[in-house]
Amino acid sequence: VTYKIGLLGLGTVGTGVASILLDPAGRNHLLKEIEIKQVGVRSLTKTRTVTLAEHYYTDDLVAIVNDPDIDVVVEVMGGIEPAKSLVLKAIANGKHIVTANKALLARHGDEIFTAAKATGVYVMLEASVCGGIPIVQALKQSLGANRISGLTGIINGTTNYILTRMHAAGESFESILADAQKLGYAEADPSADVDGFDAADKIAILASLAFGDRIKLGDIYREGISGITNTDIAAATELGFVIKLLAIARRAQTDTQNSSLDIRVHPTLVPKHHPLASINGVTNAIRVEGDPIGEVVFSGPGAGSGATASAVVADILSVVASLKAGQQINQLMGCNHQHYASVQPIKHTVNQFYVRFITRNQPGVIGDLGTCFGKHGVSLESVLQKPVLLKTSQDVANEELAEVVIVTQKVAEGNFYAAIAEINNLPSLHKIPTVIRIL
Ligand code: NAP
Ligand code: HSE
């Protein structure tokens, strides 16, 4: 008996999956019992880097999900539609699903998992989060005995690749992003990476697994990295930090009932000796805190063909092993969440901040800033004043400007932004290009 795979998509991830399935020697022996039946693509004329006879290819993806011979549908095409309809149709036809599509799961996971439960099929999602790192399996099974209190991670490879190169060489954002696209790390629309949507999708999935409730994507605070400039990178370095796009999900600190979560994605200043500061390039890392484990950190390649295919094929193996054993649905491999978590608004959280101001280069500016912060109970940890940085500027012709970087102590977001609102009205302020939270 062989188990037949219908592959929806043969791009970066699909090509990696096909390469493993076509070359099982030296890998798990079960792979010899798994074969690709059909591959669904958009273009039948594109040159492919895997060798598959012509008859494998089709642009009729509906036929794949309706094919009674196919046991497992592997969705690595991306996007919401037609991926969603195809996955739901495959489930209705009793097929197991393996997907790398975090955007789909984070938006429509409730409908997909409800349908899968009703039909008694698996929806496996290891590849949807952190590429090759087995974090989904860890949260579902290996760490299942723990009461999880927090997840903190670098969970988008593209943005970590961009920030790492900006730190190393001060290269321009655009040229590094183009390289990330060439390497197959970026989403079809790279703003999903750069603006933090992809990391928000992933932390929604991880938080749901860690805390046992569904997460509404709209409840997650999200900021991307497009506002980070080489000036911020240089200032952060001078202050002893590295800028990373972090995804955080934890029990809300102010909530004694432990009933709401603090979930966010934003650029963060990470102290340079913190373990996450040295996670570079496309590597992802995620720290899980729980009782009784304490703390465990996973790291590995977070995007790319081989890394992601490693996770996809592991899920195929799990499904096939379960089918071979004739098991009912193994509850540890499924998702059975019913309720939505309450997520604390960011304005109720307490954070330390880095703020970069461009001010008029005149006496008393730092005093004005300090007075505004003081009025709102914001204590300052450090103040870095640069000599005049911008001698000419399009909007302030021939006027000298100065740059002031302030690091606050921990402060309620409400107080911090009340101070910022007042600072925005100071005549000595030119603009506030960047505000970044500190880990
Ligand atoms: P990709 O390189 O753009 O490949 C997409 C594949 O799907 C292509 O083969 C394309 O066909 C096919 N396809 C897309 N829309 C189609 C449609 N409407 N009809 C028929 N075929 C269609 O994408 P990818 O990078 O492999 O990503 C695939 C999924 O994996 C996405 O959900 C992504 O978020 C996720 N993921 C990616 C990575 C990564 O590192 N790239 C890592 C983890 C998860 P053609 O080849 O004919 O154009
Ligand atoms: N675009 C994603 C990233 C792919 O860069 O992390 C992996 O999910």
- Partners of 436 in beta bridges: 354
Q: For residues 416 and 209, what is the distance between their CA atoms, to the nearest angstrom?
A: 32
Q: For residues 203 and 251, what is the distance between their CA atoms, to the nearest angstrom?
A: 14
| pLDDT for position 387 | 64
| pLDDT for position 158 | 98
For residue 325, report the distance from its CA to the centre of ligand 2, in Å. Answer: 34
- Choose among 320, 309, 314, 301: nearest CA to 19: 309
Which residues' Cβ are closer than 6 Å to ligand 1?
9-14, 40-43, 46, 61, 76-79, 82, 100-102, 127, 131, 184-185, 187-188, 303-304, 308
For residue 10, report the distance from its CA to the centre of ligand 1, in Å. Answer: 7
For residue 421, report the distance from its CA to the centre of ligand 2, in Å. Answer: 35
Is the predicted pLDDT of residue 137 greater than 90, yes or no?
A: yes
Q: How far from 18 is each of 31, 188, 417, CA to CA, in Å? A: 12, 20, 51
Q: How far from 45 is each of 41, 53, 58, CA to CA, in Å? A: 10, 13, 11
| 8 Å CB contact between 276 and 439 | yes
Ligand approaching nearest to the C-alpha of 9: 1
Above pLDDT 90, what percent of the chain? Answer: 88
Alpha helices in 72-194 (DSSP H): 83-92, 102-119, 135-137, 157-169, 173-182, 191-194
Between strands 96-99 and 123-124, the pairing is parallel
Atom of ligand 2 nearest to the CA of 161: 5
* Residue of the CA atom closest to atom 8 of ligand 1: 11
Is the predicted pLDDT of residue 191 greater than 60, yes or no?
A: yes
Atom of ligand 1 nearest to the CA of 48: 46
What residues contact residue 390 under an 8 Å CB cut-off, 6+ apart? 358, 400, 401, 403
Q: Verify whether residue 202 is a known catalytic residue.
A: yes
Between strands 283-291 and 147-154, the pairing is antiparallel
Residue for token pair 């020697």: 25
Mean pLDDT of the region 18-45: 98
Say if residue 69 is exposed, middle or buried (CB neighbours under 10 Å; 0-12, 13-18, 19+).
exposed
Q: Which of 178-192, 238-252, 374-388 has the lowest mean pLDDT?
A: 374-388
Above pLDDT 70, what percent of the chain? Answer: 96
For residue 246, report the distance from its CA to the centre of ligand 1, in Å. Answer: 25
| pLDDT for position 391 | 43
Is the predicted pLDDT of residue 390 greater than 70, yes or no?
A: no
Mean pLDDT of the region 169-184: 90
Dihedral (C-alpha) 205, 207, 208, 210: value to the nearest 10 degrees?
120
Mean pLDDT of the region 386-406: 63
| 8 Å CB contact between 159 and 232 | no
Say if residue 345 is exposed, middle or buried (CB neighbours under 10 Å; 0-12, 13-18, 19+).
exposed
The pLDDT tens digits for 299-353 are: 999 999 999 999 999 999 999 999 999 878 898 998 878 899 999 999 999 999 9
Q: For residues 348 and 319, what is the distance between their CA atoms, to the nearest angstrom?
A: 42
Query: What does the mean pLDDT of the chain come to?
Result: 94
The pLDDT tens digits for 404-417 are: 999 999 999 999 99
Q: How is 288-334 classified by DSSP, letter by letter?
A: EEEETTEEEEEEEE-SSHHHHHHHHHHHHHHHHHHHHTT----GGGS
Instruction: Place 286 in a pLDDT band, splitting at 50, 70 and 90.
Output: very high
In short, whether 185's Cβ falls inside 6 Å of ligand 2 is: yes
State the DSSP H helix or E strand holding residue 211, giving kind and residue range, or none if neither. helix 197-211
Which residue among 7, 8, 10, 13 is best mutated to probe the pocket of ligand 1, counting the most ligand atoms within 8 A of its Cβ? 13
Atom of ligand 2 nearest to the CA of 308: 7
Q: For residues 391 and 397, what is the distance between their CA atoms, to the nearest angstrom?
A: 9
For residue 317, report the distance from its CA to the centre of ligand 2, in Å. Answer: 23
Atom of ligand 1 nearest to the CA of 12: 26
Which residue among 12, 155, 176, 187 is best mutated to probe the pocket of ligand 2, counting the most ligand atoms within 8 A of its Cβ? 187
For residue 41, report the distance from its CA to the centre of ligand 1, in Å. Answer: 9
